[in-house]
Amino acid sequence: MAEQNEPEKEQQQQPAPEQAQQTKDDSSRRNLMTWIILAVAVLISAGAGFGLGKLFADKTGSQDQNAPPPTENPVANTTAENSTAETDELWYYDLDPVVANLDEPGATRYVRAALTLAVSSSLDKAKGTALLEAKKPLLTNCLTIFLASLSLDDIRGERNLRLVQTEMLDMINAKLFPGKKGQIKQVLFKEFAVQ
């Protein structure tokens, strides 16, 4: 009987290497599947990232392909458009803050504006300062009346504020230099608060 048990043992031992090989193959397949799934996940996320990037780039990009690229500082661009070659040679004069009630029916709202005038270098700084000091009450009066004529909608947003600046510039140049070329090149806001 001992002889019969030995062949049975041999038969039982033979499947063990086959099971080990099958287990090894299963483990290799799992590792391979894991790597494939990982690679697919990376490709999908990369594709999604690329797609989102293109989507957001198209939304924020220029709609007109022939338009010049946007400048880094839109304020500097506007300043360059509104001034001449004397930009580097301007001098500045600060006006006293002006407070005025806005033209808003049913509500008491007011605006406080502190302005700086950019004056051309062709106007001597000493003479220009003396002129601005002498005309300061006239300028304060005109600015107060002008601001009191505005409604809240007239001063809401960048476009409207730039329009207000342009109208102030024209008004100040007309008051200071009637019938002559204006020497004030820009009206700058130091403060513009609405309450």
Q: Is residue 67 part of a domain?
A: no
Q: What is the pLDDT of residue 80?
A: 43
Residue numbers of the domain that contains 152:
74-194
How many other CB atoms sit within 10 Å of the CB of residue 176?
Answer: 21
Please check whether residues 84 and 49 belong to one and the same domain. Answer: no
Q: Is residue 53 part of a domain?
A: yes
Q: Is residue 169 part of a domain?
A: yes
Please check whether residues 93 and 187 belong to one and the same domain. Answer: yes
Q: Is residue 187 part of a domain?
A: yes
Q: Is residue 65 part of a domain?
A: no
Please check whether residues 106 and 174 belong to one and the same domain. Answer: yes
Phi–psi pair at 129, nearest 5 degrees: -65, -40
The sign of the dihedral angle between the CA atoms of 100, 104, 107, 113 is negative
Please check whether residues 86 and 161 belong to one and the same domain. Answer: yes
Coil, helix or strand at residue 190? strand
Return the higher-pLDDT residue of 76 and 149. Answer: 149
Q: What is the pLDDT of residue 167?
A: 96
What is the average pLDDT across 39-62?
53
Q: Is residue 64 part of a domain?
A: no
Sequence-distant (≥ 6) Cβ neighbours of residue 48 within 8 angstroms: none
Winning range, highest mean pLDDT, from 27-36, 63-72, 78-87, 98-107: 98-107
Please check whether residues 165 and 103 belong to one and the same domain. Answer: yes
Separation CA 68–CA 4 (nearest Å): 95
What is the average pLDDT across 97-123?
92
- pLDDT surpassing 80 at residue 65: no
What is the CATH classification number for the domain harbouring 96? 3.30.479.30
Q: What is the pLDDT of residue 107?
A: 83
Best CA proximity match to 115, nearest among 168, 70, 63, 69: 168
Q: Is residue 154 part of a domain?
A: yes
Q: What is the pLDDT of residue 36?
A: 80
User: What would the pLDDT profile of 160-194 be if each residue is shown by its tens digit?
Assistant: 999 999 999 999 999 999 999 999 999 999 999 99
Please check whether residues 101 and 6 belong to one and the same domain. Answer: no
Coil, helix or strand at residue 60? helix
Please check whether residues 83 and 169 belong to one and the same domain. Answer: yes
Please check whether residues 153 and 109 belong to one and the same domain. Answer: yes
Please check whether residues 78 and 54 belong to one and the same domain. Answer: no
Separation CA 90–CA 101 (nearest Å): 32
Winning range, highest mean pLDDT, from 5-14, 52-61, 102-111: 102-111
Separation CA 93–CA 128 (nearest Å): 9
Q: What is the pLDDT of residue 30?
A: 75
Please check whether residues 52 and 84 belong to one and the same domain. Answer: no
Best CA proximity match to 114, nearest among 168, 159, 71: 168
Separation CA 147–CA 194 (nearest Å): 11
Please check whether residues 175 and 95 belong to one and the same domain. Answer: yes
Return the higher-pLDDT residue of 47 and 79. Answer: 47
Q: What is the pLDDT of residue 8?
A: 53
- pLDDT surpassing 90 at residue 132: yes
Please check whether residues 54 and 78 belong to one and the same domain. Answer: no
- pLDDT surpassing 70 at residue 97: yes
Separation CA 128–CA 143 (nearest Å): 19
Tell me how many domains the chain contains: 2
Q: What is the pLDDT of residue 189?
A: 95
